[in-house]
Structure formats: C-alpha cells, structure tokens
C-alpha cells in the first residue's frame, strides 16, 4: 500500500493538516499558531516551527512522512505565458529569461518549473504554459523545518495550484462543470484572497489586505487586550465579540472589496458567468461576515466542500482544508 501523503497548510493564524491515503482523505486537523511564531507572514524560528509541526502531527495522529506543503505567499511567482514552440530543454533554458524582471539575484538562486496548460496542436507555433519560480533558499528552509519535524517535503506548490487540483478532480467527477469559471474566496488572517479560475487554471488572484487580523485588532482595542489574546476570544466568540459594531465595519470593508474583485473580473471577461463563489478559510466561521458577503455579491455562495473528494465530506469544518486537501492531489 502506498504511504499516506500529509497536506500541510501553514497559515498565518492556524496550521491545517490532512492525510490522504490512496486518494481517500482520512484525517484533518487544525491547530492555532503559537504567539509570535509568525510575524508579518514570516516564520520567526525554524526550531519552534518544527517542534510545533511535530507535536501537531503527533497529537492528531497524522500517520505518514511524505508532506505536500504550500509555498508561502510572496515566495513564489506563478505566471501564465505564451512562448514559441520549443523542446523541454530549450524551455528550461528560457524560463529564467522570461522571469528576468522578477529575479533579484542571479538565476542560480532560483528553481524554475512549468506545465503545459493546453497541449499545442500540430499547426500551432506557440504554446500556453504556466511557469513558476521560487527561491532555492525558501525550498531548502521548508525542507529543513519539515525534516526536523520528522517529515519529508515531497511537493511544494503555491495555494493557487492546490485549488486548481481540487477543481481538476471535481471536473473529472462532474465533466459538465469542468471548463466553467470558478471563484474561490479565502477569508484568511493577513489578507482575504479572491481567486478566479477558468477551469482548473488560475486566471487572477486579488489580494485584499483586510482579513482576520483586522478583526483581532478592533476586538483588542475595544477590550484592551493584545491582538493574540483577542484572536482567542474571537475564536470562542466570547461575549459575542463578533457582533461588536467595530467588527461589522471590518466585515463590510471585506465584503465591498470582494464585490469589487468579482465585478472587475466580470468586466475583463464579459463572457463569464459566475453562478457560484466558494467560501473557505477561518473567516467562514463568522456568520455576520458571510451575511455581508452574500448581500454584496451576485454569485451564490457555496461551500468549498462541493469541490472536494467525497471522503472529505465527513471532515468537521471542511472549508478550513481546501489547500491542505488540494496539495495532496498533486
Ligand atoms: N472560529 C473562528 N471564528 C472566527 N475566526 C476564526 C475562527 N477560526 C479561525 N478564524 C480566523 O481565520 C483566519 C485563518 O487564517 P489562516 O488561514 O491561518 O491564514 P492565512 O490563510 O491568511 O495565512 C484567522 O484570522 C483566524 O483567527
Ligand atoms: Mg490559509
């Protein structure tokens, strides 16, 4: 029997882990990030992160060593390109050139990768590829942290590709939906992300700087506690803190920006017909936020569990795990 793959999504607020054994999602766990382990999106201590991952895996009985992890946002650059028809070898030589505006160090400091989006037809002179670049240092660092935690880093891809995997496997189960446009709204901590896909291919991601951290900030201000403490109170919805008028201001700011992102997409791709938007992320636990979003946007809100394998339906709060699950489908 093949070894299980563990999907690990290290978020700014929480770590999400799932195990996938032969395509069956077996376990899922979500645990809070300790105070100050992540600051401004960066891991502050490799040793502490390794210990935390190890402990989290052990406590939640995540069996397996092979890990598929998400590349931290901002460390990888993914770009869809049209290039002249060429061999794989030529393409590998050319990718650093295609990314020249992005590289801040010599090309030897980066890994490049690509896949072909639409296989070229005989008469085609160009090909449509999705290419990515990541700093070697980031890959090596995550590899080291996971090693220290007792794992092996096998797959390292950005979250957009993990969502793409979900959509692709959903499309295989529902061929009538395979080529549609998909909108995924991730209510995260540092930011809110609106991802727009054409079929399983990412078209654009709009990052909205407002997210869970801003709810923590206002709760902290009102109650006179630090943002970390405020986050814990938010998770319990202690004394109904989520209904504070100060929080409502944040909800509507997030909802308005989501609406703008979706409208802008519709404007750029007039033929689009987004019937649904799939919600995920810890913010999806906040009913008042969901209500604001629902009132503001025209696509209907749906749970992202609809895009996940059937075995994920038994997971509690499946909307926390689309990235972790999608990572294991690579
Ligand atoms: N029960 C809950 N109630 C309210 N907010 C929650 C709850 N659970 C998680 N969250 C929030 O959801 C967000 C999850 O962020 P996370 O996915 O870890 O970050 P990111 O994807 O931006 O790196 C955090 O702000 C967290 O506090
Ligand atoms: Mg996340």
Q: Is residue 57 part of a domain?
A: no
Q: Are residues 196 and 289 in the same domain?
A: yes
**Residue 206 — pLDDT band, cuts 50, 70, 90?**
very high
Handedness of CA 23, 28, 34, 38 (dihedral sign): positive
Q: Is residue 28 part of a domain?
A: no
Q: Are residues 182 and 297 in the same domain?
A: yes
pLDDT in tens, 241-288: 999 999 999 999 999 999 999 999 999 988 888 999 999 999 999 999
Average pLDDT over residues 95-123: 92
Q: Are residues 191 and 258 in the same domain?
A: yes
Does the C-beta of 190 come closer than 6 Å to ligand 1? yes
Q: Is residue 209 part of a domain?
A: yes
Ligand 1 pocket check: which of 212, 240, 290 to mutate, most ligand atoms within 8 Å of Cβ? Answer: 212
Q: Is residue 124 part of a domain?
A: yes
Say which residue, 89 or 1, is predicted with more confidence.
89
Domain count, the chain: 2
Grouping H, G, I as helix, E, B as strand and the rest as coil, residue 254 is: helix
Q: Are residues 268 and 202 in the same domain?
A: yes
Flag whether pLDDT at 183 surpasses 90. Answer: yes
From the CA of 108, how far away is ligand 2's center (Å)? Answer: 30
Q: Are residues 281 and 190 in the same domain?
A: yes
Flag whether pLDDT at 2 surpasses 70. Answer: no
Q: Mean pLDDT of all residues in the chain?
A: 95
pLDDT in tens, 111-156: 999 999 988 888 999 999 999 999 999 999 999 999 999 999 999 9
Does the C-beta of 214 come closer than 6 Å to ligand 1? no
**Which of 30-34, 37-41, 74-78 is predicted most confidently?**
30-34
Q: Look at residue 1 in the predicted model and tell me its pLDDT.
A: 55
Q: Are residues 201 and 293 in the same domain?
A: yes
Ligand 1 pocket check: which of 75, 216, 282 to mutate, most ligand atoms within 8 Å of Cβ? Answer: 282
Does the C-beta of 322 come closer than 6 Å to ligand 1? no
Q: Are residues 116 and 227 in the same domain?
A: no
The CATH number of the domain holding residue 117 is 3.30.1490.300
Flag whether pLDDT at 34 surpasses 60. Answer: yes
Q: Is residue 132 part of a domain?
A: yes
| Final residue of a structural domain among 87, 107, 136 | 136
Q: Are residues 201 and 296 in the same domain?
A: yes
Whole-number Å distance between alpha carbons of 151 and 47 = 14
Say which residue, 8 or 330, is predicted with more confidence.
8
Q: Look at residue 42 in the predicted model and tell me its pLDDT.
A: 87
Q: Look at residue 120 in the predicted model and tell me its pLDDT.
A: 87
Flag whether pLDDT at 48 surpasses 80. Answer: yes
Q: Is residue 215 part of a domain?
A: yes
Q: Are residues 106 and 210 in the same domain?
A: no
Q: What contacts 317, CB < 8 A, 6 or more positions away?
A: 30, 285
DSSP 72: P
Q: Are residues 127 and 223 in the same domain?
A: no
Shortest-distance Cα residue to atom 12 of ligand 1: 282
**Residue 74 — pLDDT band, cuts 50, 70, 90?**
confident
**Residue 99 — pLDDT band, cuts 50, 70, 90?**
very high
The CATH number of the domain holding residue 239 is 3.30.420.40
* Residues near ligand 2 ion, CB 5 Å cutoff: 11, 188
Average pLDDT over residues 26-49: 92
Q: Are residues 122 and 183 in the same domain?
A: no
**Beta strands at 276-280 and 192-198: parallel, antiparallel or unpaired:** unpaired
Q: What contacts 133, CB < 8 A, 6 or more positions away?
A: 76, 77, 95, 96, 99, 102, 103, 110, 111, 112, 113
Q: Is residue 253 part of a domain?
A: yes
Flag whether pLDDT at 326 surpasses 70. Answer: yes
Q: Is residue 48 part of a domain?
A: no
Query: Do the Cβ atoms of 302 and 284 come closer than 8 Å?
Result: no
Give the gyration radius of the chain's Cα atoms.
20
pTM as predicted: 0.94
Average pLDDT over residues 2-24: 93
What is the span of the domain harbouring residue 229? 177-306
- Kindly report which listed range (41-45, 150-154, 205-209, 250-254) carries the lowest average pLDDT score: 41-45
């Amino acid at each position: 029997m093949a070894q299980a793959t563990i999907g690990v999504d290290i978020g700014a607020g929480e770590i999400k882990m799932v195990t996938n054994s032969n395509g069956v999602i077996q376990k899922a766990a979500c645990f809070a990030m300790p105070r100050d382990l992540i600051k401004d999106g960066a891991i502050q201590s490799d040793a502490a992160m390794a210990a935390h991952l190890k402990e989290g895996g052990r406590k939640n009985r995540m069996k397996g060593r092979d890990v598929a992890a998400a590349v931290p946002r901002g460390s990888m650059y993914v770009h869809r390109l049209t290039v002249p028809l060429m061999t794989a070898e030529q393409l590998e030589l050319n990718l650093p050139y295609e990314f020249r505006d992005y590289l801040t160090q010599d090309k030897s400091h980066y890994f490049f990768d690509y896949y072909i989006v639409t296989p070229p037809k005989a008469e085609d002179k160009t090909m449509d590829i999705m290419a990515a670049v990541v700093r070697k240092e980031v890959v090596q660092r995550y590899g080291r942290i996971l090693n220290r935690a007792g794992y092996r880093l096998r797959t390292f891809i950005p979250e957009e590709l993990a969502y793409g995997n979900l959509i692709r496997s959903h499309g295989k189960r529902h061929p009538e939906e395979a080529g549609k446009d998909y909108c995924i709204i991730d209510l995260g901590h540092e930011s809110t992300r609106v991802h727009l896909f054409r079929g399983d291919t990412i078209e654009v991601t709009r990052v909205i700087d407002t997210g869970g951290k801003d709810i923590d900030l206002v709760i902290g201000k009102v109650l006179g506690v630090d943002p970390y403490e405020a986050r814990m109170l938010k998770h319990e919805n202690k004394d109904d803190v989520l209904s504070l008028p100060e929080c409502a201001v944040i909800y509507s700011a997030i909802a308005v920006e989501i609406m703008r992102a979706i409208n802008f997409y519709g404007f750029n791709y007039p033929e689009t017909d987004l019937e649904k938007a799939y919600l995920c992320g810890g913010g999806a636990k906040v009913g008042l936020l969901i209500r604001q979003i629902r009132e503001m946007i025209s696509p209907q809100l749906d749970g992202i569990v609809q895009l996940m394998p059937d075995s994920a339906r038994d997971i509690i709060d499946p909307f926390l795990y689309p990235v972790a699950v999608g990572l294991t489908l690579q």
